[in-house]
Structure 1
Amino acid sequence: MEKTIAGAQDTQTAGHIPKQRGESLLETAVRYAEERHWDVFPGTWLEAVDGRQRCSCGDASCPAPGAHPARPDWATQASGSATVVHRMWQQQPAAAILLPTGRTFDALSVPESAGFLALARMERMELTLGPVTLTPDRRMQFFVLPGATAKVPELVRKLGWAPASLDLVSLGEGAYVVAPPTRFGSRGAVQWACRPTPANRWLPDAEELVSPLAYACGRDR
């Protein structure tokens, strides 16, 4: 698994790779706004309750503790201004870093096992990838150009699959991805399978990635 992540990154390490190790959530959120021009908004956070880490939302059975929107109007809260982002995390330094989709990027979400299979296939095809996240709940999100949500179902059908038969989810307007190094409760932190670098600033179109992703999801069923 580590070899696969490293291989995916080796093809895209030209230029400066944004730091994360040792950085605060505030510094990382500001970096996303400054260097990638991504809109960012703060989510929930983890709190110690009776010696255990609980989500700030107060739900003891929260499915994504410390890693989901903290308010219903989160879409209007998101900002690409480094000054605004800095101010938001100053108010709550432990807040999750969340990135709205449907703006500067969409994301194609697949199970982790299918994602690694697809990454290996994409490397053989010499496809240019955008950033890819790996979450503790065993999902991978491949960043693509906005508009993927409208395209993906028909693209999947053309490949001979029924969209509902594959665990291939397109995240567009009204959705979000959880960004590294946000933590999912006690399950660990979100990681980059492919880091954002100057080499992958220009994102692929969904059409370029759907075939290997659909193939991997079909194998993974």
Structure 2
Amino acid sequence: MEETLGVTGAGTIPSQQRGQPLPDTAVRYTEDRHWDVVPGVWLETAGAVERCSCGDRGCPAPGAHPADKNWAAQATGSATVARELWAERPTAAILLPTGRSFDAIEVPETAGFLALARMERMGMTPGPVTRAPDRRMRFLVLPGGARKAGDLVRGLGWSPRALGLKPLAEGAWIAAPPTRVGGQGTIQWARHPTPANRWLPTTEELINPLAYACGREPQPTS
């Protein structure tokens, strides 16, 4: 269900094919979308065993999380700096800080695809959307919008937690394609960054279809 692109044009991130260098893609994010990027951890192979560079054998997201607590200060929007950072760690995850060029609204994957179908029927153009092996999707919205999500959802009569809807604002991050989560799969685009979705939607525009889709999907009990 991933959206693919045939021709790469101005402002379009190239299709993420298996084996495409992470450094090149990180630089494209800074050049084409003006997004800040920061390298995260990476995967290491010892014998036939693949482990996260963080050293935690029980790491829940091997190869796809920040490398240290100062990750936000290391984020850069400079293509030159990005090249230098990934030259030092060429297999490091690509992390995109939220609360800068964009916020994100995270929802369960099934609800996310349902919401995308509903948006298409309504004639809406969503921004870029990622899908991850944890079966969660992240919808990019204008910065500052994620903090409104809770009140907006409650205004519709739902609880964000009950819906499995999570806002990602300043201080949070998302892993970007083609980062691989060891043993689980690869971060992909459900809706690719293109010139058509360069202007991100507001949280207010997306919250109705997202909440409706989440409300239709049974959520796991804790």
Among 203, 206, 220, which residue is 2:203 paired with?
A: 206
Alignment check: 8 A CA contact 2:106 2:165 kept: yes
1:134 aligns to what? 131
Distance 1:174 1:129 in 2: 23
1:116 aligns to what? 113
**Aligned amino acid, residue 76 of structure 1:** A
Distance 1:164 1:61 in 2: 26
2:100 aligns to what? 103
1:145 and 2:121 are equivalent in the alignment: no
1:193 aligns to what? 190
Return the offset for 1:158.
1.5
Among 7, 27, 36, which residue is 1:39 paired with?
A: 36
1:24 aligns to what? 21
Distance 2:91 2:13 in 1: 20
- In structure 1, stretches of 5+ residues that fail to align are none
Distance 2:64 2:48 in 1: 19
Distance 1:191 1:183 in 2: 9
Among 142, 157, 161, which residue is 2:158 paired with?
A: 161
Between 200-209 and 151-160, the greater mean CA deviation after superposition: 151-160
- In structure 2, stretches of 5+ residues that fail to align are none
Between 158-167 and 92-101, the greater mean CA deviation after superposition: 158-167
Return the offset for 1:71.
1.0
Describe the superposition over 1:61-120 as per-residue Cα deviations: whole angstroms up to 9, x where unpaired.
000000000011000000000000000000010000000000000000011111111111
* Higher share in helix: 1
TM (norm. structure 1) is 0.92
Describe the superposition over 1:149-198 as per-residue Cα deviations: whole angstroms up to 9, x where unpaired.
32111110121112332100000001000000000001111000110011
Query: CA RMSD of the aligned region, Å?
Result: 1.6
Among 72, 86, 109, which residue is 1:89 paired with?
A: 86
Among 204, 214, 219, which residue is 1:217 paired with?
A: 214
1:68 aligns to what? 65
Return the offset for 1:23.
2.9
Among 44, 47, 59, which residue is 2:56 paired with?
A: 59
TM (norm. structure 2) is 0.92
Distance 1:197 1:134 in 2: 16
2:178 aligns to what? 181
**Aligned amino acid, residue 111 of structure 1:** P
Between 184-193 and 145-154, the greater mean CA deviation after superposition: 145-154
Distance 1:118 1:145 in 2: 18
Question: What count of residue pairs does the alignment treat as equivalent?
Answer: 214
Instruction: Quote the sequence identity (%).
Output: 62
Distance 1:107 1:152 in 2: 10
Distance 2:68 2:99 in 1: 19
